[in-house]
Amino acid sequence: MSKIVIASTNPVKMAATQRGFHRMFPTHTFHFESVSVPSGVRDQPLSSAETLHGAMQRTQAASECMPEATYWVGIEGGVETDPHGVGAFAWIVIRSSELIGQSRTGTFYLPPRVADLLQRGKELGEAGDFVFGTADSKRAGGAIGLLSDHALDRTELYEQAVILALVPFKHTGLYKVDPSGHHGAGK
């Protein structure tokens, strides 16, 4: 049985990780644990680079808290302003003792009212809750659930990226670097 440590106690991040691992490795048995660790970035990361750094930091902190695990998973949601507006997304980083896999979710753009609240220092979850009159949406459907009338929720958005981050673990021979610096089996 492989022990998976999720670097968050958020039920959305836990469910997305569980579903992603079960879909990628349906015949494996996993034991999932969560641990609350700091991301080392702002509560609301404001760039893709900062968001990825937060996911990496969470993964590192989880591995230090629970070094006996097989995998450590860090998920960090962020936003970034570009010419189209303020886009929201998350980075997923998965580590084992030998490999790192990472992927980013799809991006969706926020309405101006929500984006304005972010510019005033609110986190995305708080801003979405204020605009939609909800509470604690980041632990449920998230902003994407609110904006899509739950056609897509935060767990589903993250699950796909968890699967993508697991690709190197599904095909380890193609992703490992040997001591001479060559990648995979086709050196």
pLDDT at residue 187 tops 50: no
Residue 180 DSSP SS3:
coil
With contact defined as beta carbons under 8 Å apart, do 167 and 101 qualify?
A: yes
Residue-wise over 80-99: b if at least 16 C-beta within 10 A, else e? beeeeebbbbbbbbbbbeee
pLDDT at residue 159 tops 50: yes
For residue 77, give the nearest of 114, 49, 45, 103 by alpha carbon. Answer: 45
CATH number at residue 18: 3.90.950.10
pLDDT at residue 81 tops 80: yes
> In this predicted structure, which of 33-47, 49-63, 166-180 has the lowest mean pLDDT?
166-180
By CB neighbour count within 10 A (0-12 exposed, 13-18 middle, 19+ buried), where does 143 fall?
Answer: buried
Count of domains observed in the chain: 1
The span from the first CA to the last CA of the chain, in angstroms, equals 32
Tell whether 92 is covered by a domain: yes
Tell whether 169 is covered by a domain: yes
Chain centroid offset of residue 10 CA? 11
Tell whether 124 is covered by a domain: no
Q: 127-158, pLDDT tens digit by residue?
A: 999 999 999 888 888 999 999 999 999 999 99
Percentage of the chain lying above the pLDDT 90 cut? 83
Question: Given this model, what pLDDT does residue 186 score?
Answer: 44
Tell whether 84 is covered by a domain: yes
Q: Which domain holds residue 159?
A: 2-109+152-175
Tell whether 141 is covered by a domain: no
* Mean per-residue pLDDT of the chain: 93
Its pTM stands at 0.91
Q: 15-43, pLDDT tens digit by residue?
A: 999 999 999 999 999 999 999 999 999 99
Question: Given this model, what pLDDT does residue 183 score?
Answer: 55
E strand or H helix that includes residue 52: helix 48-65
Tell whether 127 is covered by a domain: no
